[in-house]
Amino acid sequence: MKPYSFYELLPNGKMRFFVDATLLKDFGICERRFWYRHIQRQKRKPRLIQIQGQKTFETTDYLSFPIAIGGWWSDVMERFYNLMKDNVPITDDVVKEIVLKAWVDNRLDLGNQIDPKKFTKFGDLLGAVVMLKEYKDSQYSIDKSIWKIVGTEMGFGLRKEVFVGETNKVEVYWVGRPDLGVIESGRLLPVDHKTVNRIDGRTTGRFKPGLQMPGYCFSFETIAKELGIDRRVDRCVVNICARERPSDNPRDGKKKPRFVRAYPTFTREEIEEWRRNVVNTCERIAHCLRTQEWQWGYSSCHNIFMRDCEYLEVDDATPMARDLILKASYVVGEPWIPYVKPEEEGDEE
Q: With 70 as the cut, is the pLDDT of residue 75 above it?
A: yes
Please compute the mean of the pLDDT values over residues 166-173 and round it to a whole number.
97
pTM comes to: 0.86
Q: Percentage of residues in the chain with pLDDT exceeding 90?
A: 64
| pLDDT digits 0-9 by tens, 227-268 | 787 889 999 999 999 998 988 888 888 888 999 999 999 999
Longest Cα separation, the chain: 66
| pLDDT digits 0-9 by tens, 170-206 | 999 999 988 999 999 989 999 999 999 999 889 999 9
Count CB-CB contacts under 10 A for residue 318: 7
List, in order, residues 6 or more apart from 269 with CB less than 8 Å away.
Answer: none
List, in order, residues 6 or more apart from 304 with CB less than 8 Å away.
Answer: 29, 30, 33, 310
34-48, 165-179, 268-282, 333-347: which range is least confident on average?
333-347
Average pLDDT, the chain: 88
- How high is the pLDDT of residue 160? 86
On the CB side of 278, how many CA atoms lie within 13 Å of its CA? 30
Q: Does residue 290 or residue 59 have the better pLDDT?
A: 290
pLDDT category at 2 given cuts 50, 70, 90 is very low
d(CA 203, CA 193): 13
CA nearest 278: which of 172, 145, 205? 172
Please compute the mean of the pLDDT values over residues 43-68 and round it to a whole number.
63
Omega before 3 within 30 of 0, i.e. cis: no
Q: With 90 as the cut, is the pLDDT of residue 13 above it?
A: yes
Q: With 80 as the cut, is the pLDDT of residue 71 above it?
A: yes
Q: With 80 as the cut, is the pLDDT of residue 102 above it?
A: yes
81-85, 152-156, 315-319: which range is least confident on average?
152-156
Q: Are 334 and 1 in contact (CB under 8 A)?
A: no
Count CB-CB contacts under 10 A for residue 210: 13
56-65, 77-86, 89-98, 173-182: which range is least confident on average?
56-65
d(CA 133, CA 258): 12
List, in order, residues 6 or more apart from 63 with CB less than 8 Å away.
Answer: none
- How high is the pLDDT of residue 343? 35
Of 9-18, 41-50, 241-250, 326-335, which one has max mean pLDDT? Answer: 9-18
Q: Which residues pair with 330 in a beta bridge?
A: 44
On the CB side of 280, how many CA atoms lie within 13 Å of its CA? 7
d(CA 118, CA 108): 12
| pLDDT digits 0-9 by tens, 259-268 | 999 999 999 9
Residues in the chain: 349
Q: Does residue 281 or residue 46 have the better pLDDT?
A: 281
| C-alpha torsion sign, points 110, 111, 112, 115 | positive
Domains of the chain: 48-282 (3.40.1350.10)
| pLDDT digits 0-9 by tens, 117-152 | 888 888 899 999 999 999 999 999 999 999 999 888
